[in-house]
Structure formats: C-alpha cells, structure tokens
Structure 1
Amino acid sequence: MPREPLSTTARWALTSLALSMLMPSLDTSIANAGLPILATAFDATFQQVQWIVLAYLLAITTLIVSVGRLGDSFGRRRLLLIGIGIFTAASLCCALSPGLGWLIGARAVQGLGAAIMFALTVALVADAVPKARAGSAMGLLATMSATGTTLGPSLGGLLMASVGWQAIFLLNVPLGLLNVWLVYRFLPADRASGPRVPFDYSGSAVLMLTLAAYALAMTLEGLMWPLLLASLCGAGVFILVEMKAQSPLIRLSLFSDARLSSSLALTLLVTTVMMTTLVVGPFYLHRGLGLSSAMVGVTLSVGPLLSALSGVPAGRLVDRFGAQRIVPGALLGMACGCALLALLPMSLGLPAYVLPIMLIAAGYALFQAANNTGLMAGVSQDQRGVVSAMLGLARNLGLITGAAVMGAVFALAAGDPTQAPATAIASGLHTTFGVATALMLLTLIISRVQATTRDSVNTAQPL
C-alpha cells in the first residue's frame, strides 16, 4: 500500500530537524582531527587541548535531561530556537577565541546549545510528520547523527589545512542562521499547555553533578574510583530529591514502565558496543594487519558510513513491519557481528574484519530507528522532551563507557596497544569482542523480557 507523500511544510519541518541533529553531531568529532594544530596555535600540551573536546561532551552529558524537561514545560519549539541560537553564537565565539581558556569555555556553552538540540529534535518528530512516517523520520535523524560524526574528522582536517582552525567553528554560523529560519517558519507552534509547573532546580543540579562525576571518572584515570563513588552517592541523593520534589525533573514512576527502562538499557549497551569498534579498530588495523594510517582511516569510516546510508531504509522497514519486530533482529545481527570478530583469525586479513563491522553497523542503524520509534510512540505529550533527552543521555553514557571500560578490557588483554605485537593485538580483539558479544546477548534477553511484558499487558498506558 503506497504511503501518502509528505506535505511541503512537513518536508521542510523534517529538514529543520535533520539539520538540528547534523550540526551538534558534526561538532562532536570535528575538532578531534585538529587537536595537534590547536595545540600548536595555543602553545598547549595535548592534555590541555583535549578539553576542547571534553568540555563539549561534558556539557551535553550533564545538561541534556534538564533541558529536555525544560522543553516540556517551556515549549519545545521555542527552546529549540534558543538552543540553535546559543549553539550558533558560541560557535562564533569559538572562532574568535584569543586563548585556549576562552575556547574551552565557548565549547562548553556550545555544548549547552547542542544538549538542547539533541534533547528536543527527536521529541519534535511527532509534531513535524504524520505518525505513519515516524519510523522514516527517526531513520533520517539517525542518518544525520552518523553522518555528522563520520564527516567531522575529515571535514575538520580539510578546513584546517585549507582555511585555518577557525573555519571549523565558523561553518556553524550560516548553518545555524538557516536552521533558525527553518524551525521558525515550518515547525508547528508549541501547543498551549496547562499551568506552568515549577522547574526542579535541586534535582537538576544534583543530576548534573552526578553525571559530571561519572563522565570524569571515565576520562581521568587517576581519579576514577573516587569519582565513581561520588557518582553512586549522587545517584542516591538524586532519587531522594526526586521523591520529595513537587514537580520532579524525572518522574521515578517512569522507570516502572518496561518500555522505557528496557529501551534505555538497550541504548546504553548497544552504544557501548558501537564505541568498542572505534576503540579497538585502529590498533587492530594498524598494528595487527599492518595497514597505513590512510587505509586505517578509510576502513574505520566503513561502519559509520554504512550506518548513515542504512538510516532511512531502516526507518522505512520500521514503518512497514513495526518496531517490535525489528529490534530483536537488529540486536541479533549485531551479536553475530561481534561473535565473528571474537573468533576472527588474523590470517583472513582485512575482509574478515570489515564484513562483521558492516553487520554491526547495519544492525545499529536498524536498532536506532526501531527503538526510538517504538519508545516515542508511547510517550505522552508532556513527557516527550525528557524521555527524548534520557535516550540521548543513555547514548552518551554508552559512548563514554565504551571508550573507557572496553578500552581497559582491550589494554588488559593485549598489553600496551601502542607497543604490543600483532599476535597480542589479535588476542586483545578476540577478548574485547567476546565481552561485546556477551553484552549483545544481554540485550537480546532484555528485548525478550520487554516483549513478554508487553504481550502480558493488552492496553499499555502512555508514559
């Protein structure tokens, strides 16, 4: 049965959301390739310029849930316009930075704008397109996210080499101005809501400090355990604060719904596994298979590129067959890819590495489209912002955890990856993806429990 085409207004509204996902995704990775250039420009050490990346990621991680909740009460379209404005203005400040401290501060403010854009873009899909096209829209947003992250390093390197480091930030100014106009012109105005509820400042502050402690624990090796303990205590304090709050940042009753709890757990585990491919891959390709740096870069782009190309087709499959049918198949495909890498003989060379990576990437694209569509379809209007933000938070925490924990597993199994021989690197890859396979089997169990719970409840209430 042919689908009804989108109206012109809906197409432009979806374009605005796609751009709102592309811009912050691009800036997640665009500065990475230029860290050596930035270190020279500001006469700084590598550890110092790393904060250009960390400040942005920390701001997103700590603020995304709070701004998502604020969007539910303040107006999602209105707050998205503000977020794009903050992101654009901060990008200009980054380009005009006279010193490293100024640049790091501007990147943190840019992260605030990015947090708003990440938190509200998915939540606004229901207002932009008909329900029957939600899966395709989610697939497009997944494509934009993967495209931005994949394109960032190469585009950043090209702009820095040809124009200068300021260009990687100035790029956002015309894009941001265009996006402000698109959102203002084509996204539906915020619906009138009931009485304005007070914002949970206490819960927001505790959650931000807790998430900051966890994120820093994953990046500062010397302080890992004290910061992990602090984040655990912070989580306990946050629960107590939310139990007493008049209008809590996150309604704790949400977690009693299996759809939300399982979707967040699946997102965290799946993104942890996806980050594993980016942590282990460069060492296996360079030191294990002996590829040149150029070939390593090309090979590493295969997975993200396939995820980007698979996003829209994955969304169409979700629209046709339903999210509940797609999620288990996507997880099974990723599990099989991880298992193949865990058993990979080095003698089979590059093709034996690339094919499982392609299987993992395609499964990830399917999972994102199906999981996000299935969850957001059951969310009430007044909770879309915070639930969308929690999905973004689970993704960010998965990426941080994958880089730290799975990187530690690889280093433990292979020794120092920068010095280890090819055989040790191969052993490290097998061990790390053995752990990744176990994580994917856990996702299949969670998915099965979710399906069983859903089948036992004939009429699920909105979150």
Structure 2
Amino acid sequence: MKNTAATLLTLSVSVCSVMVGLGIVWPLLPVLAVQYGAGGLIVGLIIASYNISRTALSPFVGRFSDRFGRKNFILLGLVAYSAVSFAYLSAHSSGALIAVRLAHGFASLLVVPIAMALTGDIAPRGKLGSYMGTLNMAAMAGLGLGPFMGGILFEHAGMTAAFSSMGALSLFACVLVAAFLPPDRESGAVVRREGTATLKDIFTNRTALALVFMRFFTATGQGAVYTFLPIYAMRADMPSSQVGVLLSVNIFLMAVVQRPVGRWTDRHNPKYPVMAGMFVAALSIFPMPFAGGFIPLLGLNLVMGLASGAVYPGSLVVSGHLGRVMGMASLMSVTDAAWTFGLIVSPILSGLILDVWGIVPVFALGAGLLFLGSVLVTALLRGYRPPAEENAG
C-alpha cells in the first residue's frame, strides 16, 4: 500500500522550504535593482519577469509532466532554483537581473504546480480537500515567513546571506525529494502518455473556465492590495512595521484556513467557499483607503485573509476532480498561468490609475475586478457537483 501521507509530508516540507526562499528575496529585489541604477519602469520589469516566464511556459510544462512524470520535474526545478539563487549574486546589471528572474520563474514552474498535481494524483478518495489544503498551507506559510526572515538576514548579515539562504533552502528541498519522494510508479503519480486536455478543451469546459477566471481575478484583487497598500500606508504616515504586520496577517490567515476548509470540502460541495470567499474578499478591499488608521486596516486585512484563504482549498479540490479527467498538471498549469497573468496585469493597470487618479481608485479597481470575477465564477459553477465517488454533498 502506498504511503501517501509520507509523500504529502515530503512535498509539503519541500514546497514550504522553496517558498520561504522565494519570500526571502521578494522585498530585497527592488533594493538590489535600485543599487544597479534601475529606474521605476525597469524595477517593475525586473519584478514582472518572474511572472512573464511562468505565464508563457506554464501550460507546456504541465502537459509534459502529465506525459513524462512528476518526481524528475520537481528535482530539476529544485536544482534550477538553487542555481538561480546564487545567480542573483552574480547579476550586476538590470539586464542580468531580468534574465535571472525569467529563469527563476521557469524553475518555479517545475516545483509548486507539479507538486500540486502530484498531491492531486495521490490523494485518497474523499480526502482531496485535506491533501490539497495541507500542501497549500505549507506554501503560504513559507511565503509569509520568507519576507520576515529576509529582512532580518539583510539587516544583520547583508544581501549575500539572504540570497545564499534561498539557495541553501532549495538544496535542502532537493535532497529531501531525492531521498524520500518515491519514484512515480510507486508514489501513485498518474502519467498519461495520451489523452491530456488541450487549451481548447480547458477553455471550452465551464468548470475549467471558472477555475481560470477564479485565479485571474483573485490575483488582480490581491495584487492591488499587496502592491499598493504599502504606498497608501506611507502616505498616511504609518510605520513600516505596521505595514509588515498588515501583509503578514493577511498571508498567514490564508495559510491557517487551508486545511480546515479543505477538510470541509471533502464532505460538502467545494464550490461554496470559492464563490463566497471571492465575494467577501472583494467587499473587504473596497473600504481600505477609507479605513483611517491601523486598527480598521488590520480588521479589513483579517477579513480579506480569511475570505481569500477559503477560496483556494475549494478551487484546488475542483481542480483535482477535473484534473483526474483532463490531466492534473495540464489543468493546474493553465490555472497557474491565469494567476501569474493577473499578477502582471494588476500592478501595471493599477500603477497607471495611481498616476492619473490617485490611490483610492486603485483599491476600487481591485475590488471591482474581484467582484466581477465572483459573478462570473458563480455563474459558471452554479450547476457544479463533485463526482459521486468523492462523497461530497
């Protein structure tokens, strides 16, 4: 009998390690770019390059993984992650940083989306929500912890230590996967030499299209908050420590609710937290520029974190159900591309609005796009019911 719990633990620890490393360098990249003389537009391009390569290459990587397996893709991604981590230290120009970021985005495609697909493969019937929620909790916890660790490392040990820590964490995850993740034929990975869904199949399926819309519109709403809440706080003379608390609380709450909501979706229709979470998250974003202080903003971020966190386990369970038909990685890589595309569109569009109309319409745009997404997703998922063998109600 396959030890799926041990496989899930290995994947969770590995993904958490990688996401901690990603979070470490997240707040340091703009500092590094400015040190090399980059202006605002180039800084934005450096940041966006990571998501550009993910958006462009994600669907292809997913189809390859469905055809050729999981473990080797994850190992290759972790090795590439480690190399990229140290390549940051050798990038002494804006152009070099853009190239490294493009490579970083590609490396990330080989790890987290494929790990998600493998989790969907191995999850026992009736436990898909628990498994997906556990892995996503590990990813979000790592991403939330990373910036905090990065700030401490940068302050006390410098830039080199921060990027080296990212590489060390990736190497640790690589060793862990190589040693403890079983080969595909033993882990339960589903390899399909043929029959994986095409892009046309995905975009003409109502449920798959709902997942694409969910990922895109959620990214646009969250992107507006994560990118421009610090600017709003700065203009309101709010200490940077309070801004860090706001964003950390938001992300950590998202992590905390993953497993309990995932377990709930194992017993009930997973569409409900998706639809309700998107709507409530949209309502929490709109009043943020009118909050008038740290405590009201903290309350709104608490609501947003809980609501946004509830969306992911439900959507991952729906993805898992559908992925067993379409190809797990093929579907999840397309929804991942929608997510990263939203993270590209949101800062650019919001930045233009900020320059023309100010900070308040930025939050209105984020809330409006997320509300539009909730309407579209609700319409597309209205008749969705999970497969009978999953024992959801």
Normalising by the residue count of structure 1, what TM-score does the alignment of the two structures yield? 0.72
Change (3 A) 1:27 1:324: same
Q: Residues 318-348 of structure 1, C-alpha deviation per residue, up to 9 Å, x if partnerless?
A: 2233312322221232133135447x463xx
Q: CA deviation at 1:248?
A: 9.2
* Mapping of residues 448-463 of structure 1, within 5 Å: 448-454=378-384
Helix, strand or coil at the partner of 2:323:
coil
**2:341 equivalent to 1:394:** no
TM-aligned CA distance change 1:267 to 1:51, over 3 Å:
closer
Given the alignment of the two structures, is residue 292 of structure 1 paired with residue 286 of structure 2, yes or no?
no
CA distances 1:323-382 after superposition (whole Å, capped 9, x unpaired): 12322221232133135447x463xx3322221221111111110111111122122366
One of 128, 136, 139 as aligned partner of 2:133: 139
Which secondary structure does the structure 2 equivalent of 1:301 belong to?
Answer: helix
Q: Displacement, 1:255?
A: 1.7
Which protein has the larger Cα radius of gyration, Structure 1 or Structure 2?
1
Residue matched to 1:425: none
Give the distance between the partners of 1:390 and 1:73, measured in 2 at CA.
16
Residue 354 of structure 1 aligns with an amino acid whose one-letter code is L
CA distance in 1, matches of 2:104, 2:110: 10
1:438 aligns with 2:379: no
Are 1:276 and 2:224 an aligned pair?
Answer: yes
Whether 1:371 aligns to 2:315 is: yes
Is 1:157 matched up with 2:151?
yes
Q: C-alpha distance in 2, partners of 1:66/1:143? A: 26
User: Partner of 2:160 in structure 1?
Assistant: 166
C-alpha contact 1:13 1:182 (8 A) present in aligned 2: no
1:291 is paired with a residue whose SS is coil
CA deviations over 1:183-222 (Å, ceiling 9, x no partner):
344444324989956xxxxxxxxxxxxxxxxxxxxxxxxx
- Please show how residues 43-442 of structure 1 align to structure 2 within 5 Å: 43-46=36-39, 53-95=47-89, 97=90, 99-100=92-93, 104-191=98-185, 250-288=198-236, 290-341=237-288, 344=290, 346=292, 349-380=293-324, 383-414=327-358, 428-429=359-360, 431-442=361-372
Change (3 A) 1:387 1:32: same
Identity of aligned residues (%): 23
**Secondary structure at the residue paired with 1:454?**
coil
Aligned-residue CA RMSD (Å): 3.4
> Residues 118, 316 of structure 1: CA spacing in aligned structure 2 closer, same or farther, 3 A cutoff?
same
Cα distance in 1 between the residues matched to 2:44 and 2:224: 20
CA 286–81 in structure 1, closer or farther in 2 if over 3 Å, else same:
same
2:169 corresponds to which letter in structure 1?
L
- Distance in 2 separating the partners of 1:258 and 1:194: 25
Number of residue pairs the alignment of both structures matches: 385
Q: 1: CA distance between counterparts of 2:44 and 2:369?
A: 29
Structure 1 Cα separation of the partners of residues 297 and 192 of structure 2: 56
Q: 1:390 to 1:27 in 2, by over 3 A?
A: farther
SS in structure 1 opposite 2:238?
A: coil
Taking a change above 3 Å as real, the CA distance of residues 103 and 361 of structure 1, as seen in their structure-2 partners, is same
1: CA distance, partners of 2:15 / 2:6: 14
Contact 1:18 1:141 in 2 (8 A): yes
Q: Quick one: structure 1 residues 432 and 71, their matched pair in 2 at CA, closer, same or farther if it must change by over 3 Å?
A: same
Higher RCO by CA contacts (8 Å cutoff, separation 6 or greater): 2
Q: Is the 8 A contact 2:91 2:100 kept in 1?
A: no
8 Å CA contact 1:119, 1:389 repeated in 2: yes
C-alpha deviation, 1:266, in angstroms? 1.4
- Contact in 2 for aligned 1:72/1:382 (Cα 8 Å): no
The alignment's TM-score, normalised by the length of structure 2, stands at 0.84
What is the CA–CA distance in structure 2 between the aligned matches of 1:249 and 1:85, rounded to whole Å? 29
Report the 3-state secondary structure (helix = DSSP H, G, I; strand = E; otherwise coil) of the residue aligned with 1:334. Answer: helix
Q: Give how far 1:314 is off.
A: 2.4
Confirm or deny: 8 A CA contact 1:65 1:119 kept in the other structure. no
**8 A Cα contact 1:147 1:308, kept in partner:** yes
Segments of 5+ residues of structure 1 without an aligned counterpart are 1-6, 198-246, 415-427
Change (3 A) 1:139 1:196: closer
Q: Does the C-alpha gap of structure 1 residues 412 and 105 become closer, same or farther in structure 2, counting only changes over 3 Å?
A: closer
Runs (4+) off by over 6 Å: 192-195
Contact 2:59–2:333 (Cα < 8 Å) also in 1: yes
When structure 1 is superposed on structure 2, of 59-68 and 46-55 the one drifting more is 46-55
Q: What is the CA–CA distance in structure 2 between the aligned matches of 1:102 and 1:49, rounded to whole Å?
A: 12
- Residues 15-45 of structure 1 show CA distances to partners (whole Å, capped at 9, x for unaligned) of 332244334534544334334663587x544
Structure 2: which amino acid aligns with 1:282?
P
Tell me, in whole angstroms, the C-alpha distance in 1 between the residues paired with 2:228 and 2:247. Answer: 10
Instruction: List runs of 5+ in structure 2 lacking aligned partners.
Output: none
Which residue pairs with 1:224 in the alignment?
A: none
**1:273 partner letter:** G
Q: Does the C-alpha gap of structure 1 residues 255 and 44 become closer, same or farther in structure 2, counting only changes over 3 Å?
A: same
CA distance in 2, matches of 1:8, 1:158: 41
* 3-state SS of 1:273 partner: helix
Contact map agreement 1:64 1:392 (CA 8 A) in 2 = yes
